[in-house]
Structure 1
Amino acid sequence: MPPTLILRRPFDAHLHLRDGKVLQAVLGETSRDFAQAIVMPNLVPPIVTWRQAEDYRARIVEAVPRGDRFKPLMTLYLTERTDPDDVAAAHASGLVKAVKLYPAGATTNSSSGVRHLERAMPVLERMAEIGLPLCIHGEVTGAEIDIFDREAVFVETILDPLRRRLPDLKVTMEHVTTADCVDYIKEAPAKLAGSITPHHLIINRNAILAGGIKPHYYCLPVAKRERHRLALRAAATSGDSRFFLGTDSAPHVDSMKECACGCAGVFNATNTLSCLAHVFEQEDALEKLEAFASLHASAWYGVPPADETVTLMRQVDPIGQPGKIETGEGQITLFDPMFPLHWAVQR
């Protein structure tokens, strides 16, 4: 028999689904393999209130393909005017599992994000009291900071002071991209974890820039040097429960990627599990894949792991996968890991 992996159906701790026709087109790429996901709130306009989160969840549930069992776990978009009482009520209801901090201007649809963290402190203080996690896009946005240094500078100048001020605040550093951040998470005594994307385990900055600009590898935080990629691989495959899968699957139609000012984001929902099995096999850590993909994040967010399983089988021939996903608004290009994939999800 070919080598086989049986995993609890995974938990995606960082997922963009968008809305409307794009939501309809991409949701099935996640729901066929994943049991649940932390859904990002950076729509236009963003999801900032309990009521908006309820309405967005209803649209997602309605769009789940027939036969799929998928649970969207909602987040709120932190602004300087967010109401602490609304956040607490949303958390108490069980609907909202985290609040997302986007520094203003850091990434796609972040213009409504936080410019002065002090103005959001009443919300963060309440979150620390009630145990509601803060998910962070951890980059500074000052023009004087090199784009490849933004995460490391954020850890030093924003994250560390925040955690010292609010040691009871539970923080997820999302889409970790640097050895600096990996080390910081490892050294933290408690209340800090990091999600890691499949593409940051596979590409470094050469994939974006060497031999011509490759817009479909451009994401934020941007991929870094090879030493950082290797540090991420070591963290992901270590079995350390503070690191878990967050795909940051971020669909943009090709016309928004292949242009003079292309959007940041990698769409990887379709082949995430095959990519991860390849990486963990390379690192001789296949026995740790289930914990990284299915168990660590569910424990962190206080959500029971899935009862159902998903099976991957290693084929001799490479698996087939679509180059693009069709939507009513244009095509979306799927992440290409630049090597053949042999681990096929059995459906």
Structure 2
Amino acid sequence: MELSITQPDDWHLHLRDGDLLEGVIPHSAKHFGRAIVMPNLKPPITTTAAALAYRESILKALPKDSSFTPLMTLYLTDMTSPDEIKRAKKSGAVYGVKLYPAGATTNSQDGVTDLFGKCFPVLEEMVEQDLPLLVHGEVTDPNVDIFDREKVYIETILVPLVQKLPQLKIVMEHITTMDAVKFVMSCKEGSVGATVTPQHLILNRNALFQGGLQPHNYCLPVLKREIHRQAIVSAVTSGSKRFFLGTDSAPHEKRKKECACGCAGIFNAPVALSVYAKVFEEAGALDKLEAFTSFNGSDFYGLPRNKSKLTLKKAPWKVPELLSFPFGDIVPMFAGGTLEWEVSLN
């Protein structure tokens, strides 16, 4: 069996910087035409000038024959100004502003502490400039159970935000719950969308503990119950235009995952398309895969769809146990396992 689809884009990607960037970027550039690149570096990408400099670093790290296009983002802080939003839009290289609640995930310590009290003028300017807000939707209150943080964030932040600023385009990143599905579906189509990762479509929270603690299945937002996984699968395979591909591929060295305080993040760039195809096939929805991978995201962002094609072939292949680089090893998602769909470029 073969399936030819328009080349997908990745609407949520971590590329890091330095040696790690050079090591991982070929895996995304091989399959995806464009990617929304996350700004949570050290220091974070908080200005347009920094975003443009980071973009140049990415372009220099690409394989010579690659046509991959990085779409840059700004990291929202309590100090971000409306003028910075104007500069970002004018640059033509910045396509969104990322909201990390302070302390929610990797390198989020400089994130927002009071969205409505400190960032509202910036949000209003984003409406004027037609720049989407890309949201890591979890509260950071330690009194809220980690498995409930997305649900509480929707109730306390996102619902009021949509009511206060209905014109603001919002992407709820890496949704993990039926609560997020219901919220996205309740909003006006074209105003609120959601990215969905391979891991949240195919794994539930049992995957963190089967056969011992599994650090390479640890990501934030954390994997949820099976009922939530099923709700997300139903949403993305329904044909709804509100949901689109965002891998949240987040590489960390093996030694930083397998340690006393392991980093959150799953490196799925080499296997993402194979996993998405598996999920859609199992749902009897392969005819809806192309829209999810290749159309919905570009349509939401108001960008042209890609012209090139790639082919997914039903051919088993083994995922490497390790990807080795001069700086260390990275363990990919499904390391050592066998996947049923192989990607080939046309």
Q: Distance in 2 between matches of 1:29 and 1:338?
A: 17
SS of the residue 1:319 aligns to: strand
Partner residue in 1 for 2:147: 148
Letter in 1 for 2:301: Y
SS of the residue 2:343 aligns to: strand
Partner residue in 1 for 2:306: 306
Which of 322, 336, 339 aligns to 1:341? It is 339
Q: Distance in 2 between matches of 1:17 and 1:323?
A: 21
Range with bigger deviation, 171-180 or 330-339: 330-339
Q: Distance in 2 between matches of 1:260 and 1:281?
A: 38
Partner residue in 1 for 2:254: 254
Determine if contact 1:194/1:243 at 8 Å carries over to the other structure: yes
Q: Distance in 2 between matches of 1:121 and 1:336?
A: 41
Q: Distance in 2 between matches of 1:237 and 1:323?
A: 30
Determine if contact 2:12/2:38 at 8 Å carries over to the other structure: yes
Deviations 1:25-82 (A, max 9, x none): 0000000110000000000000000100000000001111122210000000000111
TM-score of the two chains, using structure 2 as the length reference: 0.97
SS of the residue 2:36 aligns to: strand
Deviations 1:88-110 (A, max 9, x none): 22112211000000000000000
Letter in 1 for 2:109: S
SS of the residue 1:266 aligns to: coil
Determine if contact 1:257/1:264 at 8 Å carries over to the other structure: yes
Deviations 1:295-324 (A, max 9, x none): 100111111111111111112xx2133222
Range with bigger deviation, 70-79 or 318-327: 318-327
Determine if contact 1:239/1:288 at 8 Å carries over to the other structure: yes
Q: Distance in 1 between matches of 2:77 and 2:277?
A: 38
SS of the residue 1:269 aligns to: coil
**1:337 Cα deviation from its structure 2 partner:** 7.8
Letter in 1 for 2:318: G
Which of 37, 50, 53 aligns to 1:52? It is 50
Determine if contact 2:319/2:336 at 8 Å carries over to the other structure: no
Q: Distance in 2 between matches of 1:244 and 1:64?
A: 24
SS of the residue 1:342 aligns to: strand
Equivalences for residues 185-204 of structure 1 within 5 A: 185-190=184-189, 191-204=191-204
**1:330 Cα deviation from its structure 2 partner:** 1.2
**1:83 Cα deviation from its structure 2 partner:** 1.8
Letter in 1 for 2:146: I
TM-score of the two chains, using structure 1 as the length reference: 0.97
SS of the residue 2:342 aligns to: strand
Q: Distance in 1 between matches of 2:327 and 2:136?
A: 27
Partner residue in 2 for 1:272: 272
Q: Distance in 1 between matches of 2:276 and 2:128?
A: 36
Q: Distance in 1 between matches of 2:85 and 2:255?
A: 36
Q: Count matched residues.
A: 343
Q: Distance in 2 between matches of 1:194 and 1:225?
A: 19
SS of the residue 1:341 aligns to: strand
Partner residue in 2 for 1:234: 234
**1:339 Cα deviation from its structure 2 partner:** 6.0
Letter in 2 for 1:299: D
Determine if contact 2:318/2:338 at 8 Å carries over to the other structure: no
Q: Distance in 2 between matches of 1:150 and 1:262?
A: 20
Partner residue in 2 for 1:179: 178
Determine if contact 1:22/1:328 at 8 Å carries over to the other structure: no
Partner residue in 2 for 1:25: 23
Equivalences for residues 116-135 of structure 1 within 5 A: 116-117=114-115, 118-135=117-134
Backbone CA RMSD of aligned residues: 1.2
Mapped pair 1:160 → 2:139: no
Q: Distance in 2 between matches of 1:327 and 1:304?
A: 35
Partner residue in 1 for 2:329: 331
Letter in 2 for 1:163: V
**1:236 Cα deviation from its structure 2 partner:** 1.2
Q: Distance in 2 between matches of 1:210 and 1:154?
A: 29
Letter in 2 for 1:335: M
Partner residue in 1 for 2:13: 15
Which of 32, 36, 39 aligns to 1:38? It is 36
Q: Distance in 2 between matches of 1:327 and 1:102?
A: 30
Q: Distance in 2 between matches of 1:158 and 1:211?
A: 37
Which of 76, 92, 96 aligns to 2:90? It is 92
Which of 60, 65, 85 aligns to 1:67? It is 65
SS of the residue 1:270 aligns to: coil
Report the identity percentage: 52
Letter in 1 for 2:273: L
Structure 1, unmatched stretches of 5+, are: none
Q: Distance in 2 between matches of 1:206 and 1:180?
A: 20
Range with bigger deviation, 150-159 or 91-100: 91-100
Range with bigger deviation, 205-214 or 140-149: 205-214
Partner residue in 1 for 2:76: 78
Deviations 1:136-193 (A, max 9, x none): 0000000100000000000000111111111111000000000011011111124111
